């Protein structure tokens, strides 16, 4: 098995894998445009030239990201592909100096084995207001929120400096 960043040639395989789970109501469906637009977020697990798992790391703030679109071909479940894929996404998150990563899932046991903890979704407002608003399950979401705090590196929190941190009005540009 080989873990690597996704390429444009992988889009149809990603669509097939993700949308097969979407048809069962356990993932959001994706379009070719959406996959292409966010392709740099995606990592894949490949075996004998075939995509067997996918996942993406999506950034929200300079220190927070989401592990999303984690899908493993049903014939390859229990093979370690999902675990290896999430480990690669976590390594990428550390490379970008993220403090926290989170996931929304129907399979909390999988993420718990990887060190994630369940939290109330209200602790992740960026997710709710950015992506969940367009979800058909927004009013009755049944996914569980899971969080993992990454350690072993310095935290990069900027301390407020007082008045000079207040918003500065931007000039109005005339066309």
pLDDT in tens, the chain (175 residues): 999 999 999 999 999 999 999 888 788 889 999 999 999 999 999 999 999 999 999 998 899 999 999 999 999 998 999 999 999 999 999 999 999 999 988 888 999 999 999 988 777 756 555 555 555 555 555 678 899 999 743 333 333 333 333 333 333 333 3
Total number of domains in the chain: 1
* Cα distance between residue 153 and residue 100, in whole Å: 12
Q: Which residues contact 143 (CB under 8 A, 6 or more apart)?
A: 104, 105, 106, 137
- Identify the CATH number of the domain in which residue 44 sits: 3.40.630.30
Query: Are 110 and 120 in contact, with CB atoms under 8 Å apart?
Result: no
SS3 92: helix
User: 169 lies in a domain?
Assistant: no
User: 27 lies in a domain?
Assistant: yes
**Domain, as residue range, for 38:** 2-153
User: 45 lies in a domain?
Assistant: yes
User: 172 lies in a domain?
Assistant: no
User: 174 lies in a domain?
Assistant: no
User: 175 lies in a domain?
Assistant: no
């Amino acid at each position: 098995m080989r873990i690597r960043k996704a390429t444009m040639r992988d889009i149809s395989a990603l669509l097939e894998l993700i949308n097969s789970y979407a048809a069962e109501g356990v993932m959001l469906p994706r379009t070719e445009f959406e996959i292409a637009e966010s392709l740099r977020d995606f990592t894949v697990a490949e075996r004998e030239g075939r995509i067997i798992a996918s996942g993406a790391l999506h950034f929200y703030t300079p220190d927070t990201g989401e592990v999303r679109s984690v899908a493993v071909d049903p014939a390859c479940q229990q093979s370690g592909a999902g675990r290896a894929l999430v480990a690669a996404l976590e390594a990428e998150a550390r490379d970008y100096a993220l403090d926290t990563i989170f996931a929304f899932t129907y399979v909390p046991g999988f993420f718990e084995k990887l060190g994630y903890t369940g939290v109330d979704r209200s602790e992740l407002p960026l997710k709710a207001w950015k992506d969940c608003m367009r979800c058909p399950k927004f009013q009755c979401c049944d996914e569980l929120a899971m969080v993992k705090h990454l350690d072993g590196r310095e935290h990069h929190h900027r301390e407020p400096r007082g008045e000079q941190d207040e918003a500065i009005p931007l000039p109005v540009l005339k066309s």
